[in-house]
Structure formats: structure tokens, C-alpha cells
Chains A and B, each alone.
Chain A
Amino acid sequence: MRSLTEEETRTLFTKLASYTGRSLNSLITPAEDGSQSVFRLQGCRVYYVNKDIANLSVSFPRDQLLSAGTMVGKFTKTGKFRINLTALDLLAQNARYKVWIKANGVMPLLYGGSVLKAHVARFSEDCPENAGVVILDSNDVPLGFGVTARSSAQIAKLDPTSIAVHRQADAGEYLREEDTLFTT
């Protein structure tokens, strides 16, 4: 487990910043009780770990350490970063744009479908096209995240069957991708 290089940090933050606003700072700054969490790389996967645990984790051989903390995502071979579903909690706390969906849209989303206009209950204002959004149900429970297909102004004019948000990850993956979610 090692800390990220400059390039990797920039790539990671660029990706995270497309979903979160300025509150991303709170991820790095130490909490009031002095505890701090850091980003660490293990293999190609990035984990968001408590610093104390991260320091302790060096005592394990790399090939035997499976996971520590929250997995944020992984670097692809081409150097891009892919956010994993497990980072949903981090994103939901600091999300810039949010979409609330009705009860009729929850199951289609959890089965891997996109969010249609008919499913949208509420939309963050002034949301541009192709921006990252966190998808929540009517009780403010985060269900996944995705990318807007149209800007919020245009979505209002769409017909009910057209796609409003392209799904990137949803909570249904915990079951659907159970076998491969944590394999390295």
C-alpha cells in the first residue's frame, strides 16, 4: 500500500470533482478529533483509509493485503480512474448535483437501468449536461450515481420515456457483481 503520486492524485481528484463540489476539501482535512483519512493505492485500487490504519497496513505483505478502508475506485491500464460503487457514501455526502427519483424508478435503477424522465421526482437546479449526479430515492437514501443526459432545463421539456440520467453505478451491483466487486 502506498500513497499516490502527483499525477495519480490529480486524476483521482478530477474524477471525484465531477461528482462533488468544493466540499471535497473535507475529505483531506483532518477531523476535529484529530483523526485523518488518506488515499492509498494497493495494486491498481485506491482506498480511502484512516491514516493510523494505513500506517499499520505496511506490516502486511502487499500480495496478501486485500482491502483496507473504503475502496474509492481503480486506475485503468491507460491511467484513467474509475469510481467504484463503494465510494457512493463519500460522493453522496459531498455531492454537487443530486437527483431524487420516485418509487417507480427505484427498481429499474437497481436492476441496472437508466433513470427516465418519468422517474425523476426532483432535480438539482442549474445542472449542466454530462455532469455527475448522485441518485437518491425519496427518503434521501443514495442509490447510485450517474451522468446527466441533458441539462436540468432541458429535462423539464423531455417526454416521459427519454433518459434523464445515464447510470454509472447503482446499489444493485452489490448483488449483481458480488463475485467480482472486491477481487483484485
Chain B
Amino acid sequence: MAPNVGGAKGGAKGGAKGGKPTNLSSASRVSKSAKKDGPKRPPPKEQKSKPRTANENLKKKKKRVYTEKELDLPELNQITPVGVIKPKGKKKGKTFVDDAEGMMTILAMVNAEKEGQIESKMMKARQLEEIREAKRAEAEARMKEKKNKFDDVKDSIRQKKKGKGGDKAAEPTSIKDSISKPGRSKKKTVAFA
């Protein structure tokens, strides 16, 4: 079987090869290239790369300098810490507060700020106190309710006991009476002569 199959395959291959000899030949490629050569292009020029030592290359290109704003760095990651930056163009040195008016304005500002803080603190404390009071009242009410419920349950049990107890108390007496009436009790007695 194997030689047969091989023979058939070999035949088919041979046929195909025989059928298209011209198509795959190098001649066909040549003809294609000839067709495409319609628009004429200028002959490619050889690009000359300039040596590194050339004057143009030796000159340093100006690198773009990024400002800190452009870099979008996180504030704490900068060279100068946030608090230390001094605005440019401002006069060096300290500005003293020597006049009473300046002092007064600063004092008024500080006082107002402080009063506001204290006021807000007191408000907060009062609110918290109110909430605490409300919670306490609620807890007390709940406790009272619980106690009342417990008392009710206790009372009901007592009443039940009383009701049952009354019947029970009545029954045994009647039984006892009935037992005792016939004359002998069940207790053994010892009599000495």
C-alpha cells in the first residue's frame, strides 16, 4: 500500500511542477518590477552621518529645564520644604510690629479665633452632654420597664401559686380529715408495757 500512495502523491506533485514552470520562475518577478517602475524617483542619496567630533555635534543642545510646577511633584518631595519657601522679589529681613494698632489688630484676630474655638468646644460639649442625658434617660426607662415586667411576672406566679395553693391546702385537709377520721394513722407507734 505504501508505495502506491507514495506514487500517487509523487505524480500529483510532479504534475503541478510541470504545469506552472513559468509563473514561479525568476522571469516573472522581473516583469512585475518593470511594471511598477512607472513614476520615476530620484536616485537615493547616500546619507552621510556626521562624525561625533563635528562642530555641530560637539555643541551641547539646550536641554529643556522643567520648573517644579511642571514636574507636578508631591509637595513633601521637593528640595525646599513647604514652609521654607520664600517668595522671590520680596525684601529680606523681618517686619516688626512696633505700633499699638498693629498689635491690636493681631490681638483682635487671635481673640476672635480663640473665642470661636471655645464657643464651638462648649457647643460640642453641651450637645454631647444632651446626648448622654438622653441615653441615660432611655436606659433608665428601659430598666424600669424591665423591672415592671419582672414584677408582673412575679405577681402572676404568686397569684397562680395562691390559687393552686388554696385548692391544695383545702384538699389535703379534707384528705387528712378523711384519713384521720376512720381512727388510725399510718405512723407506727411503739408502746412500752
Contacts and interface: CB of A to CB of B under 8 A. Distances in A.
A3 B97 CA distance: 7
Interface in B70-109: 94-98, 100, 102-104, 106-107, 109
Contact of A24 (B97, B100, B107, B121): B107
A128 B114 CA distance: 12
B118 A128 contact: yes
B106 A9 contact: yes
A25 interface: yes
A176 interface: no
Given A5-B95, A6-B97, A128 B122 contact: yes
Nearest to B124: A128
Main secondary structure of the interface of B (DSSP, over half): helix
Given A13-B107, A24-B111, A28-B107, A4 B122 contact: no
B96 to A, nearest CB: 5
Given A4-B96, A126-B122, A10 B114 contact: no
A179 B75 CA distance: 44
Nearest to A150: B125
Instruction: Place the interface of chain B in its size category.
Output: 20 to 34
A73 to B, nearest CB: 16
Interface stretch (A14-22, A102-110, A133-141, A161-169): A14-22
Given A10-B106, A18-B114, A22-B111, A5 B96 contact: yes
Nearest to A2: B96
B92 to A, nearest CB: 13
Interface string B38-69: 00000000000000000000000000000000
A6 B95 contact: yes
A29 interface: yes
Contact of B125 (A5, A24, A36, A128): A128
Contacts of B157: none
A151 B125 contact: yes
A28 B103 contact: yes
A36 B100 CA distance: 10
A153 B127 CA distance: 13
A129 B106 contact: no
Interface of A: 2-6, 9-10, 13-14, 17-18, 22, 24-25, 28-30, 36, 126, 128-129, 131, 151, 153
Given A6-B102, A129-B125, 18 more contacts: A3-B96, A3-B97, A4-B96, A5-B96, A9-B97, A9-B106, A13-B107, A17-B107, A17-B110, A17-B114, A18-B114, A24-B111, A30-B100, A128-B118, A128-B122, A128-B125, A151-B125, A153-B125
Interface of B: 94-98, 100, 102-104, 106-107, 109-111, 113-114, 118, 121-122, 125, 129
8 closest Cβ contacts across the A-B interface? A128-B121, A13-B110, A17-B114, A5-B94, A3-B96, A9-B97, A3-B98, A28-B103
